[in-house]
Structure 1
Amino acid sequence: MLDMLVVGGGYVGLAAAVAVKQAAPHLEVQVVEAAPAGVWEKDERASAIIAAASQMLDILGTWDEILPHAQPINRMIVTDSRTSDPVRPVFLTFDGTIQAGKPFAHMVPNVAMVRALRGAADRLGVSIRHGLSATGFETTATHTTVKFSDGSTEETRLLVACDGVRSKLRDMAGIRTVNWTYDQSGIVATVAHERDHEGVAEEHFLPSGPFAILPLTNNRSSLVWTERTDAAERLMASDDLIFEEELQRRFGHKLGEIRLVGGRKAYPLSLTLSRAFIAPRFALAGDAAHGIHPISGQGLNLGFKDVAALAETVVEADRLGLEIGSLNVLERYQSWRRFDTFRMGVTTDVLNRLFSNDVTPIRIARDFGLGVVERLPKIKDFFIGQAAGTTVKDNPKLLRGRSI
């Protein structure tokens, strides 16, 4: 019988398996992934990894492998304008360093991250099975039996669902969600440009939604472009020339000519928050527990926070001889993560509603607020510390750069 079975072989699922297995090598940990082997290694996207999460990845023995591919964010610029405005005034700037030589975040290609986590899982002896989806599970007082699409079953003391925002396991567990859509889509693409971005990230608040330019290595940038769903559908249906022209209008010309590198993808934006993170011998983590608007760039980092809290909960319970799948044990994980997740979900929802419009009184008020923050260095330092995850008092050990 397994000690922990993780369903979902993405970044959060792999990190959860690695974190538990590294701290408690005697536990039997397995990851089951519905996609065929190699699919995650073809992911063209990149993610913002905050300082606290990079500290965790360092403890897990993966950051040294990731770092050569990572681009530090040295500075952040926030503007608020219309697409047609000839000038985009900068209302807010953030120094990207939280201490000498330590940026608050890095942009990391997803393929580099999953490769490093897969390598760590292999070294630790975590079993990974591909091409299987969970079709159901039954829980008893001593274990959970999970049924898979090939007819096989696995018994485990703890089942961890990391199977995405439309989690089937969450539904099977009877866990309800708070959910609503934004009538917006997020377009993700990578561009190459003539001039060096110097590690500067930009967030342009446009009437249709935020347009984020996030620096990558080798004179490239990752774009997270929020548009109304109907406009996004038209853009995705257009050819590369029209798409690049629309990109250039929003991107600007300060980095010279731009061109698409790789493909472009769009996905509907919504808010999904699980009402509970646990059930008997069952825990949610990552997007299965929460899906938030990308306006803050915190989606994956919330998942890594789940990993750190869950791993510490499980490992310390095991050391005390407690049953790792019991509700009494898992309640610590839920109380650790649920409030923070709801707070971030509400924050991103409010920010998106505040900035994704062109109502003049609201525009004046929000720009005044940005200007006030720009003139208060201590407030800016507080915000950047919170964004980096390094000033949170109740952080799990891994997020503080400490082993469990």
Structure 2
Amino acid sequence: MIKHSTVIVGGGLVGGLTALLLAKENIDVAVLDAAPLLDENQVLEKMNSRVLALSQATIHLLKIAGVWPYIARYEPYTAMHVWNKNGYGEVDFGQESLKPPSENEWLGVMVEPSILNLAIQKTMLANVKNYHTQIRVKHLAQEIDGWRIQLSNNTSLHTKLLIGADGANSFVRQEALIAMKVLDYKQSAIGCAIKTRKPHHHVARQIFLPTGPLAYLPLKSPTATENGYWQSIVWTLPTDVCNEYMSLDNQSFIEKLSQESLYMLEGVTEVENRASFPLKARSAEKYVQAGLALIGDAAHVIHPLAGQGVNIGCLDAAMLSHILLKDLERSGVWANIQTLRKYESLRRHQNEAMMHGMSIMGWLQASQSSSLIWARSFGQRVVMKSPKLKGFFLDQANGMHLLQRTRYHN
């Protein structure tokens, strides 16, 4: 039986980031990833229709972990524009940029998941000795001094700390018999890549329609001549409406999207890779138990309304790593239950506040009550007139304040 102090199941962004942060401090960590190594040429040649919005805190953590230099393609955004089709207020943060912006102008960046996963894999190959791909966990068993892990190749591992970073349908969570609370929004989202007549000028846009929010997110094109015109959309709709729109041919969908977005950027000219997915918020009933911790989507899934799901997962990675290392330095203990509960207490409160906040915001924006429309519009105007309020919301979005008391602040 092979022993490791820490085993992470799942080698995506959150699991990979955790492994890299721990490996930097010479922690014996093994990563078990069911996915194969990506083909770099295939990833770079194909534009993914999805993007992940990375906050400044996430970018900062990727730099610390050594991942950032490997990210081959991304599109910065320097402004956000949010408004309601049936309201009178709107919120703007930052300023549009007519040319490639300098880093000090960024509010964040949009990165395709495949590009990010490629960068994570390349960094782990260079820095994590026990990084294993195309390997599945067959069975988990809790023992007195940790967890025994049975792999699909019949290898057995033993670890004092097992970290589940294996997504919303986490096998680790299921094997540990940790239940999930699920909130079904009765909505689905359409995601695809679109090309617009006017360039986005590095602005992330979101319009709240009576059916749900529609986001236009800047997307880096593999072709330099088309840079600035491609965007990724996330269109939240009642599930029956979503199914109806998914059944349209491309031209009819383009016309419907252009109309509903009020011909934002003078309308859509092309669409690629349409897909839909149901929207459900999920929260694990607990994030930890003896010798085990859940992070990222294994612990929580929130509404994509504010694009914060990936960022709160990266904050899980940072907070868990910081707390583990801090207790190791102070008392020489690794991953005892008191240490793990510190992580759970901190992150569960913050994540559930974000989850419920997104649910309430979605309901408020979708409401057609005249009094709520007035209050919503009035509130947006108040925010726009107050530099302090705008600064507060920007601080919340960039996430850096949450790293202030950790080793990753600077």
Q: TM-score, normalised by structure 1?
A: 0.89
Query: Which of 74, 78, 82 matches 1:74?
Result: 78
Gaps of 5+ in 1: 83-87
Q: Percent identity?
A: 28
Q: Does 1:189 align with 2:181?
A: no
Aligned residue in 2 for 1:383: 393
Q: Note the C-alpha offset of 1:253.
A: 3.2
- The 8 Å contact of residues 74 and 199 in structure 1, kept in 2 or not, is answered as yes
Single out whichever of 171-180 and 126-135 deviates more from structure 2. 126-135
Gaps of 5+ in 2: 97-101, 221-226
Q: Note the C-alpha offset of 1:165.
A: 1.5
1:324–1:264 Cα change, 3 Å? farther
Write the distance in 1 (CA, Å) between the matches of 2:143 and 2:330: 22
SS in 2 for 1:178: strand
Equivalent AA in structure 2 for residue 300 of structure 1: V
Write the distance in 2 (CA, Å) between the matches of 1:360 and 1:213: 27
Equivalent AA in structure 1 for residue 29 of structure 2: V
Aligned residue in 1 for 2:11: 9
Write the distance in 2 (CA, Å) between the matches of 1:39 and 1:281: 35
Write the distance in 1 (CA, Å) between the matches of 2:163 and 2:344: 13
Q: Note the C-alpha offset of 1:359.
A: 2.8
Write the distance in 2 (CA, Å) between the matches of 1:39 and 1:363: 49
Write the distance in 2 (CA, Å) between the matches of 1:31 and 1:251: 43
Query: Can you list the C-alpha shifts for 1:226-251, whole angstroms capped at 9, x where unaligned?
Result: 01111112222322222222222233
Q: Does 1:335 align with 2:335?
A: no
Aligned residue in 2 for 1:29: 29
- The 8 Å contact of residues 184 and 268 in structure 1, kept in 2 or not, is answered as yes
Q: Note the C-alpha offset of 1:382.
A: 0.7
Equivalent AA in structure 2 for residue 119 of structure 1: K
Q: Note the C-alpha offset of 1:314.
A: 2.4
Aligned residue in 2 for 1:396: 406
Write the distance in 2 (CA, Å) between the matches of 1:79 and 1:89: 8
Query: Which of 272, 280, 296 matches 2:290?
Result: 280
Write the distance in 2 (CA, Å) between the matches of 1:126 and 1:16: 14
Query: Which of 202, 207, 210 matches 1:204?
Result: 207
1:225–1:254 Cα change, 3 Å? closer
- The 8 Å contact of residues 9 and 33 in structure 1, kept in 2 or not, is answered as yes
- The 8 Å contact of residues 284 and 299 in structure 2, kept in 1 or not, is answered as yes
SS in 2 for 1:69: coil
Aligned residue in 1 for 2:176: 173
Aligned residue in 1 for 2:223: none
Cα-Cα RMSD: 2.4
Q: Note the C-alpha offset of 1:223.
A: 0.7
- The 8 Å contact of residues 46 and 110 in structure 1, kept in 2 or not, is answered as yes
Write the distance in 2 (CA, Å) between the matches of 1:205 and 1:221: 18
Write the distance in 1 (CA, Å) between the matches of 2:58 and 2:125: 21
Equivalent pairs counted in the alignment come to: 391
Q: Does 1:50 align with 2:49?
A: no
SS in 2 for 1:343: helix
Equivalent AA in structure 1 for residue 17 of structure 2: A
Query: Can you list the C-alpha shifts for 1:167-193, whole angstroms capped at 9, x where unaligned?
Result: 232122122332210001121111122
Equivalent AA in structure 2 for residue 243 of structure 1: F
SS in 1 for 2:125: helix
Write the distance in 1 (CA, Å) between the matches of 2:39 and 2:297: 18
Write the distance in 1 (CA, Å) between the matches of 2:319 and 2:142: 23
Q: TM-score, normalised by structure 2?
A: 0.88
Segments ≥4 residues shifted beyond 4 Å: 39-44
Query: Can you list the C-alpha shifts for 1:24-82, whole angstroms capped at 9, x where unaligned?
Result: 2xx3322222334439958642111001111111111122332x622222111111115
